Structure 1
Amino acid sequence: MLDVLAADLFPGNYVIAPSDGIDAPRGTEGGRAEKIAAALHDRWDDCTLFVIHADGAGDPTEARKRQVDPGIEAARALREERAIVAAACIPVREIEAWMLPDQEVFRALGAAEVLCPKDPERELDPKLTLRRLLEHGGLRRRPEDLYRFFGEKIRLEALGALPAFCTFRDELTAALRDLAATL
């Protein structure tokens, strides 16, 4: 998605380095805010854009307010000399809901016909729904082993039907604009 957004925002004038998943260093004490701040601080010199994931647990606005925003503020307090460019990635419940809207991805995995939910963000347990779809499709793979595959193959048009994903996409777009302004 970064490539698609950057191409629209900066035609022919951008470079996207490989993405790395990061976590707080082992032994980091405190709650989620302190762990986010420690992770950002630990990779500060290596990254120009941070995407911070939190599960929404049914209320993504509250998850952002309780987890992500305090983490960004704590990181800013550690490194006031540079702006933090970040986007929050907060699905309504769990990120697995964003793996559910595109039947084509299941076909690409070699699954038999599966019926994807009409509104994946309303699924109370997206992980269970994903497991069930994989099983019904004849696939014996753990969802945890498929994140990268789904992330690379899912069509952005399918994700565009999910309001929480659209919020993330819009926030990521704003973050890219902010990043361009700091360079």
Structure 2
Amino acid sequence: MTRRRLYLRAGLYAEGPSDYDFLLPLLDRLLSSLALSLFPGACDVEDSLGIDAPHAARGERAGRISAAIADRWAECTLFVIHADGAGDPRSARQSCVDPGIDAARCASPNVVAVPCVPVRETEAWMLVDVEIFRTLLGSGAQPSLPAEPEREADPKLTLGRLLKEGGMRRKPECLYRLFGEEVNLAALRTLPAFRIFETELVEAIRAVARAQGWPG
């Protein structure tokens, strides 16, 4: 008898190219880690897809999110909708994420979607792990990472400054994928906004499992 396996593939709708560069590999790692803990040995996780509204889809952000989900509905089992919090993540979620998810669910009530809303910008999530900076700048590098990255007024500026001070000549955006591939998940879990995201991602995985016939 073939053992049942959970299938996961996320579609990521993000604000810009650099957000996809960072969040796609991070999402792959996070989904694999969570799936392994929830369904050990019984889960297949495919690489996440960057999604966007088809070229013909125009209008407000909510409509574009809904169109992007509809366009990749057959390929993905859950969707992650990113928006920078700009200092007020609750408001950003309500105005930039929830309407799009609601619009998608009007068309397909079974859509499983998760908001991903850093307090300000995703760059704050790159400021939690000194080891990545040592990989990039040398093992002796001692960058002064902020104690509370999500309180940084301009985390993108802080990231660029730390890399420049360490002698990095490449543009920070060229390194975002590496940060997504290597940033320590335990360090990320010290950030409140990331913990919210991870908690909701766990619930999304469970919702996908129920839709695929798993109990509970």
Counterparts of 1:132 and 1:179, CA distance in 2: 41
Give the TM-score normalised by the residue count of structure 1: 0.94
- Paired position in structure 1 for 2:185: 156
- Paired position in structure 2 for 1:106: 133
Counterparts of 2:105 and 2:180, CA distance in 1: 29
What's the secondary structure of 1:15's corresponding residue?
strand
- Paired position in structure 1 for 2:86: 57
Name the structure where strand makes up a greater proportion of residues: 2
1:94 is matched by which residue type in structure 2?
E
- Paired position in structure 2 for 1:28: 57
Counterparts of 1:159 and 1:175, CA distance in 2: 19
**2:156 pairs with 1:124:** no
Pick from 104, 107, 113 the counterpart of residue 86 of structure 1: 113
1:58 is matched by which residue type in structure 2?
G
- Paired position in structure 2 for 1:40: 69
1:21, distance to aligned residue in structure 2 (A): 1.1
Give the TM-score normalised by the residue count of structure 2: 0.80
> What RMSD over aligned residues (CA atoms) do the two structures have, in Å?
1.2
Among all aligned residue pairs of Structure 1 and Structure 2, give the percentage whose two residues are the same amino acid.
Answer: 57
Deviations 1:17-56 (A, max 9, x none): 0111112222422221111111111111111111111001
Show structure 1 runs of 5+ residues with no match: none
Show structure 2 runs of 5+ residues with no match: 1-29
Deviations 1:34-90 (A, max 9, x none): 11111111111111111111001111111111111110111112234xx11111110
- Paired position in structure 2 for 1:75: 104
2:72 is matched by which residue type in structure 1?
R
* Number of residue pairs matched by the alignment: 181
Q: Which moved more, 1:88-97 or 1:132-141?
A: 132-141
Pick from 34, 40, 53 the counterpart of residue 5 of structure 1: 34
Pair 1:163–1:106, CA change in 2 (3 A): same
Q: Which moved more, 1:101-110 or 1:18-27?
A: 18-27
1:15 is matched by which residue type in structure 2?
D
